Amino acid sequence: MDIPQVQITGREGSHGTENTQNTQHTGTPDVDMNPNPQTDTTNSDQPGAKQDISLPDADVEPLPKLAEQPAPPKKDPTLQFLEFLRSPIVELVVGQGEEKTTLTAHQSLLLDSPFLANIVASFSESSPRRIELPTENVEAFGSFLQFQYTRNYASSLADFSTENDTALAGIDGSGEQLLKHARVYTLAERLGIPALKTLAHSKIHCVNSTPLGEIVYARYVYTHTQADDVTIRKPVASFWAMRSHVLRHEAEDEFKKLCLEVPEFCFDVLSLVLDHKEKRAQEKVENESAVKGSGRKRLRSGL
């Protein structure tokens, strides 16, 4: 019985010959599933050769794009400052006696200070917005408010023309310029304004003072700062430790009085002087040992 032959329409140019031969050889026709007429047919002339079947690429739907998140709006410094100006006015009664002064400031500018923010939080709708600060220095508090509005402070508006406004004051013979910035420094510590502390400390180093002015400044620092505040105390002690042999002769009585009144200052200065002396003695011993050691080597080498 003759086996029926089935001809499967193949690629263009093959005319079904290859498929007929495969049917006779295996009994099962190879069906070309690739409609692409440019498929490689290198081994198509060999009888019984199988062809690679390539499937068409599946249509993959692209993933939907995520909705782009809007960028956060940029803060407008002008509008932010206007918000400060729109906040309620607070009265600040600073000082006592003849120095008692009433200052005013916008409430939002006071909230940078944790100390003042706690007082503002206690205001009620009916109570006056008034803060009593009898122990604070009026000038120092004015410098604080000036810093809150301008991010700087100075004795006058003309001082803003230079970066180091304290350099315009010349020689500070009485220590008043040093005291001014020291009071701002201690006030910033109490109010919790680190940026103002840094600014005040930087201005202190710009002041040219005399031994008498340095003694006045040292007394204030050691009586108005904490013992662990090395930021402002250590430079004072180092200054006197390195120059006490000269400075004490120019203001010996005041220097002696300071040492008796503020023992901590005397101890810190003395400790630094002794540390420096011990260091020099140790270096001298090491240098002498090095010289003797090199001499023995030369003696042995000459034998």
Q: Is residue 204 part of a domain?
A: no
Q: Is residue 5 part of a domain?
A: yes
% of the chain exceeding 90 in pLDDT = 49
- Which pLDDT tens digit goes with each residue over 149-205? 999 998 655 455 444 554 455 788 889 999 999 999 999 999 999 999 999 999 999
Bin 252: left if φ > 0, else alpha if -120 < ψ < 50, else beta: alpha
Distance from C-alpha of 87 to C-alpha of 109, rounded to nearest angstrom: 9
Q: Is residue 286 part of a domain?
A: yes
User: What is the domain count for the chain?
Assistant: 2
Distance from C-alpha of 301 to C-alpha of 201, rounded to nearest angstrom: 59
Classify residue 132 by its DSSP letter. E
Banded model confidence at residue 75, pLDDT cuts 50, 70, 90: very low
Q: Is residue 137 part of a domain?
A: no
Q: Is residue 242 part of a domain?
A: yes
Banded model confidence at residue 89, pLDDT cuts 50, 70, 90: very high
Distance from C-alpha of 149 to C-alpha of 106, rounded to nearest angstrom: 10
**Over 80: is that where the pLDDT of 293 sits?**
no
Task: For residue 1, give its domain range.
Answer: 1-30
pTM for this predicted structure: 0.66
The two tokens of residue 151 are 């991010």
| DSSP SS3 for 123 | coil
